[in-house]
Amino acid sequence: MSETASARGYRQVATVPRERIEFGQYPARSRLPTEALLVDEFGVARDTVRRVIALLAEDALVVTSHGRGRHRRETSPRKSFADRSWLSLRVRGGHGG
């Protein structure tokens, strides 16, 4: 299988857990299914599932903790950063410096 087909494959598989996260099937801080369960559900290799999880982590949707598994993030760090930036500007009286 070519790299392009492989990339397309794991990105396609990633749409399902992404939609589950976005539509609340995996609530904030909930544990995601194990790699083995995802392999069985999608009929793909474990490496594909790992790539899917890595893609979701890059998009700040999940976090992996050694020994605890993978969990849905409570909020996106980018949103939290934006919220803090707004707050710091507000506290400083709206001045940027």
Residues 6+ apart with CB under 8 A from 59: 18
| Model confidence at 17: pLDDT above 70 | yes
| Contact criterion met (CB below 8 Å) for 87 and 97 | no
**Architecture of the 3-91 domain:** Orthogonal Bundle (1.10)
Which DSSP string do the residues of 15-66 spell out, in sequence order? HHHHHHHHTTSS-TTPBPPPHHHHHHHHT--HHHHHHHHHHHHHTTSEEEET
Q: What is the pLDDT of residue 75?
A: 66
| Model confidence at 87: pLDDT above 70 | no
Whole-model pTM? Answer: 0.65
- pLDDT, greater one: 40 or 92: 40
| Model confidence at 40: pLDDT above 90 | yes
Question: What percentage of the chain carries pLDDT values higher than 70?
Answer: 68
